[in-house]
Amino acid sequence: MLQRSRLFAPLFVVLTTSAWIALWMWDAGPYARYLRHASWAELPLVGAICREVPGASLALSALLHSVAWLLMIAAMMLPTAFPLFDAFRRMTNGRENQGTLVALLIAGYATAWALFGIAAHGFDEALHRVADQSPTLLGDGWLIGAAILALAGAYQFSGLKHRCLDKCRSPLMFITEHWRGRSARRESFLLGISHGAFCIGCCWALMLLMFAVGTGSVGWMLALGAIMAAEKNFRWGRSIGTPLGVALIAWSAWIVLRHALAG
């Protein structure tokens, strides 16, 4: 059991590092557009399947978006929740099914983010469809990016974000509030979903920046992942919320001003 405990952190590092390497290789390879907002019908190989098989375009789109999104979550968000996973591992130390319980916790956390990903991609797809049908909005697409930046900046000052952050910053207290160990497997999975929901509550606006600056940009993923990890897991992370909010709002204002002057 002691040997297994010593392996937990290294294995977690290997998992996260592998996700980053996979994203980097994907982004650097010939199929980088799978990570981004390409039309699936235009992609090599996939496009041919989409044109030949009825309904394949929607199915493949959902599948590839899901794989890409979960890989991003593994790289960006799992490290931010490591304190919770490690505290839960220590709390369940001695149980024969400890590995199963930890796996269910992580699966629940990933499920919460997967559901958010479905909603975010659905909203993004709907927005693109509206823009494609509106020449005015299509020509002024920068307004959408500026609005998302302003929203993310303003959310940094919201009480909801700070309440969710407080939950994420106290993993041991969170576990004692949500896990009793009576129906251990079910509670472990629901604990992961609950923590994932609070994590989404404090990070959703920053994650939307991925759609504003381009999904699949490994550089942006690294930057945003580092910011969210610092906010949740370091004492000095509390001090970055205000300057980050100001910076995002200023960036939004600069985009609006630049286009106003250009017009």
What pLDDT, on the 0 to 100 scale, is given for residue 207? 86
Give domain status of residue 58, yes or no. Answer: no
Please, what is the Cα angle at 85 between 116 and 232, to 5 degrees? 65
Give domain status of residue 254, yes or no. Answer: yes
pLDDT by residue for the chain (263 residues), tens only, comes to 434 445 556 766 777 777 777 777 766 665 555 565 544 444 444 444 444 444 445 566 666 667 777 888 888 888 888 889 989 988 888 888 888 999 999 999 999 998 888 888 777 777 767 767 766 655 566 777 888 889 999 999 999 999 999 999 889 999 999 888 788 899 999 999 999 999 999 999 988 887 666 555 677 777 888 888 888 888 888 889 899 999 999 999 998 898 778 76
Contact, 93 vs 5, CB < 8 A?
A: yes
Give domain status of residue 109, yes or no. Answer: yes
Tokens encoding 154: 């303003």
What pLDDT, on the 0 to 100 scale, is given for residue 43? 44
Give domain status of residue 168, yes or no. Answer: yes
SS3 of the chain: CHHHHHHHHHHHHHHHHHHHHHHHHHHHCCCHHHHCCCCHHHCCCHHHHHHHCCCHHHHHHHHHHHHHHHHHHHHHCCHHHHHHHHHHHHHCCCCCCHHHHHHHHHHHHHHHHHHHHHHHHHHHHHHHHHHHCCHHHHHCCHHHHHHHHHHHHHHCCCHHHHHHHHHHCCHHHHHHHHCCCCCHHHHHHHHHHHHHHHHHHHHHHHHHHHHHHCCCCHHHHHHHHHHHHHHHHCHHHHHCHHHHHHHHHHHHHHHHHHHHHHC
Give domain status of residue 62, yes or no. Answer: no
Give domain status of residue 211, yes or no. Answer: yes
Give domain status of residue 68, yes or no. Answer: no
Give domain status of residue 41, yes or no. Answer: no
Residues of the domain holding 159: 76-262
What pLDDT, on the 0 to 100 scale, is given for residue 253? 93
Number of domains present in the structure of the chain: 1
